[in-house]
Amino acid sequence: MALIKHGKLVDDIWHETDDFADVTTLGPVIVDLDTWRRHGAEILALGGRLGLRLKPGQTPDLIAADLHHFDLIALEFAKFTDGRAYSQARLLRERHGFTGELRASGDVLRDQLSFMLRCGFDSFSVATDHQAMAILEAVNEFAHWYQPALDRAATIPNLRRRARAASNDAASGCAATWAY
């Protein structure tokens, strides 16, 4: 496996397990919702860094109250055609204010990367280094987009407004000169 985080290939410090017995020994660990629900208090008592995995269909509302415990949330693209994780990601970021690492895993492919980035994912777990490099190429295929999203880039409607404001300024500047 290879991991891309904030646009770079990095080592993955996280371990995944759904078995509570492993949690004590692994270091930073990502558990599933079930394990968290059954052993949450015990896991917290261990004091390590904690991540949570949500399956497609598990709405972020289920963990809204617990979010401050997690440094990472992993969302899964069971197939890249299953787009539920895009909504989960936006809800986590925009509705619930999650600021930790938001990781995409599963069927993560080059041609979906910009959608994922725009929905608030900032790390991507892919099969091979080669795939990871190919994915990174895709980031700059588009300069601007129409919709407001989590990349916080200026949208096309925003840029239009700026361009209009600039030309209005220019126009009023012109009028001022003319008045002389």
Partner 1 sequence: MYRYDEFDHAFVAERVEQFRGQVARRVAGELSEDEFKPLRLMNGLYLQLHAYMLRVAIPYGTLSAKQMRKLAHIARTYDRGYGHFTTRQNIQYNWPKLGDVPAILDELADVEMHAIQTSGNCIRNTTADPLAGVAADEIDDPRVHAEIIRQWSTLHPEFSFLPRKFKIAVTGSPNDRAVTRGHDIGLRMHRDLQGKPGFEVMVGGGQGRTPIMAKTIRNFLPVDHLLSYLEAVLRVYNQLGRRDNIYKARIKILVQSEGAENFAEMVEAEWLKIRDNALDLPVEERDRIAAYFAPPQYENLSDACPELQAAMAAEPRFAAWVDSNVGDHKQSGYAIATISLKPHGGIPGDASADQMEAVATLAETFGFGELRVSYKQNLILPDVPKADLLALWRALDGLDLGTANAGRISDIIACPGLDYCNLANARSIPIAQRISERFTDLRREADIGEISLNISGCINACAHHHVANIGILGVNKNGAEFYQITLGGVANENAAVGAIIGPAFDEWRIANAVEDIVDTYLSQRRPDEAFIDTYQRVGPQPFKEKLYGPDQARQAG
Which C-beta is closer to partner 1: that of 20 or that of 145?
145
Strand partners, 29: 15, 50
Q: Count residues contacting partner 1 (CB under 8 A)?
A: 35
According to the binding rule CB under 8 A, does residue 162 interact with partner 1?
A: no
Q: How far is the CB of 157 from partner 1 (least distance, A)?
A: 5
Q: How far is the CB of 179 from partner 1 (least distance, A)?
A: 26
Which C-beta is closer to partner 1: that of 68 or that of 161?
161
According to the binding rule CB under 8 A, does residue 112 interact with partner 1?
A: yes
According to the binding rule CB under 8 A, does residue 123 interact with partner 1?
A: no
Q: What is the DSSP string of the chain?
A: -EEEETTEEE----EE-S-HHHHHHHSSEEEEHHHHHHHHHHHHHH---EEEEE-TT--GGGGGGGGGG-SEEEEEESSTT-THHHHHHHIIIIIT---SEEEEEES--GGGHHHHHHTT--EEEES-HHHHHHHHHGGGS-S--SS--TT-PPPHHHHHHHHHHHHHHHHHHHHHHHH-
According to the binding rule CB under 8 A, does residue 57 interact with partner 1?
A: yes
Which C-beta is closer to partner 1: that of 112 or that of 125?
112
Q: Compute the distance between CA of residue 11 and CA of residue 2 in angstroms, rounded to an integer.
A: 8
Which C-beta is closer to partner 1: that of 20 or that of 115?
115
CA dihedral over 74, 78, 79, 85, signed as positive or negative? negative
- Among the candidate windows 10-18, 39-47, 149-157, 171-179, which touches partner 1 by CB under 8 A? 149-157
Among 28, 40, 83, 106, binds partner 1 (CB under 8 A): 83
Residues in the site for partner 1, rule: CB under 8 A?
57, 59, 80-84, 86-88, 90, 94-95, 109, 111-112, 114-115, 118-119, 141-149, 156-157, 159-161, 164
